[in-house]
Amino acid sequence: MIVSIESSCDDSSIAITEIATKKVLYHKKISQEAQHACYGGVVPELASRLHAVALPQILEETKPWFDKLKAVAVTNQPGLGVTLLEGIAMAKTLATLLNIPLIPVHHLKGHIYSLFIEKPTHSPMLILLISGGHTMVIRVESFEKMEILATSMDDSVGESFDKTAKMMGLGYPGGPIIEQLALKGDENRFDLPVPLRNSKLIAFSLSGLKNAVRLEIERLGGAEAMSEQERCDLAASFQKAVKLHLLQKSKKIFKNEPVKDFAIVGGASANQYIRNAYETLCKEFGKHLHVAPLEYCSDNAAMIGRYAIDAYEKKQFATPDKVDLIVTKKQQQGALL
Ligand code: KG4
Ligand code: ZN
């Protein structure tokens, strides 16, 4: 069995996965959403301290499996430096104490493997990854050969939902809040710009749309002055613009990519409105749409454990002194992922 640890952002999660059957024997996640909600986003220092409390609590419950463990897997990049460190420190200690190998896991590969929890892997595939930190289309030729075909030039999809909710004073995380409000709204009420609509670029951009939402809120007299219906209509109009943007760029990619299997992964892939739109697009292009079960769309240790099974079979191990966190300059400044 493999114990896997995920702490790249605001979810403390640990899973136990059986190597031979790929079965998830144990999985727990303690989310910090409530503690970050009043700030409208994740506060890295607070997140790190909450991981320091939650991770040992969860680990305690996995003790019955300790004597059967063959490896410890841990997310080591990308993510918030101070929160990744909590998981990495725990993983290094466990691997040393139990004298078993360590498997460092790239968080985004973990999201891709959320498609294969308790299942065999599948390739080639085209993947749309929409999370709080990333927006990209990846061609997975094989799991050794992945190519990024398009990426966001600024904000990610999840981030744009979070910021829209924050501007309307609605809490964090914004994705599920906006999706729920949009169900009661008129998506044609506000004419928000579809990003890069007239550009040939195969890329994503969400910051202009965010600014348009900000201006619309100002025009309505500010978040406090908005009626419930205005909030619902703005949420729906925003979500529609995001959908049209994603679909427009995906269409361009689909035209050149014969790969028949397409998947959406990452926290924002839980959005049913976006899923439905891709269901229709995939039918049009003769592609088969794959999504992960809802419980594994957002950050979780089960996807890290699933990746680790393949890494274990390929003996992709590291020793505790070699597992380090990889932090970019942007992340040092506290940016999400
Ligand atoms: O994958 P994830 O848990 O963390 C990162 O790796 O970033 O994604 C979290 C993001 C948040 O920005 C959250 O607002 C967004 O996923 N999200 C959604 C929905 N549920 C979560 N975005 C849109 N619609 C949703 N239903
Ligand atoms: Zn994630």
162 CA: nearest ligand 1 atom? 14
Domains contained in the chain, number: 2
The answer to whether 138 and 109 are in contact (CB under 8 A) is no
Query: Are 111 and 155 contained in the same domain?
Result: no
Over the stretch 74-102, which tens digit does the pLDDT of each residue have? 999 999 999 999 999 999 999 999 999 99
Query: Are 12 and 84 contained in the same domain?
Result: yes
Query: Residue 97: which of 72, 61, 75, 74 has the closest Cα?
Result: 72
Cβ neighbourhood burial of 196 (10 Å; 0-12, 13-18, 19+):
middle
Per-residue confidence (pLDDT) for residue 144, from 0 to 100: 86
Cis peptide leading into residue 124 (ω within 30°): yes
Query: Are 46 and 148 contained in the same domain?
Result: no
Calpha distance 226→110 (Å, rounded): 40
Per-residue confidence (pLDDT) for residue 326, from 0 to 100: 52
Query: Are 303 and 276 contained in the same domain?
Result: no
Residue 336 has pLDDT above 70, yes or no: no
Q: Is the CB of 270 under 6 A from ligand 1?
A: yes
Residue 296 has pLDDT above 50, yes or no: yes
Query: Are 55 and 181 contained in the same domain?
Result: no
Over the stretch 162-198, which tens digit does the pLDDT of each residue have? 999 999 999 999 999 999 999 999 999 999 999 999 9
Three-state SS annotation for 85-118: HHHHHHHHHHHHHHCCCEEEEEHHHHHHHHHHCC
Mean pLDDT of 324-330: 52
To test the ligand 1 pocket, which listed residue (131, 162, 276) has its Cβ within 8 A of the most ligand atoms? 131
How many other C-beta atoms are found inside a 10 Å radius of the C-beta of residue 194?
Answer: 18
Question: Cα(136) to centroid of ligand 1, in Å?
Answer: 14
- CATH classification at residue 327: 3.30.420.40
Query: Are 203 and 327 contained in the same domain?
Result: no
Q: Which residue type is seen at 164?
A: T
Query: Are 308 and 238 contained in the same domain?
Result: no
Calpha distance 91→108 (Å, rounded): 19
Query: Are 221 and 164 contained in the same domain?
Result: yes
Query: Residue 77: which of 48, 109, 44 has the closest Cα?
Result: 109
- Residue owning tokens 């360590």: 102
Calpha distance 250→75 (Å, rounded): 29
Query: Are 140 and 270 contained in the same domain?
Result: yes
Query: Are 217 and 307 contained in the same domain?
Result: no
Per-residue confidence (pLDDT) for residue 37, from 0 to 100: 87
Q: Which domain holds residue 281?
A: 125-291
Choice between 317 and 320, residue whose per-residue pLDDT is larger: 317
8 CA: nearest ligand 1 atom? 6
Query: Are 141 and 277 contained in the same domain?
Result: yes
Query: Are 301 and 286 contained in the same domain?
Result: no
Calpha distance 109→113 (Å, rounded): 6
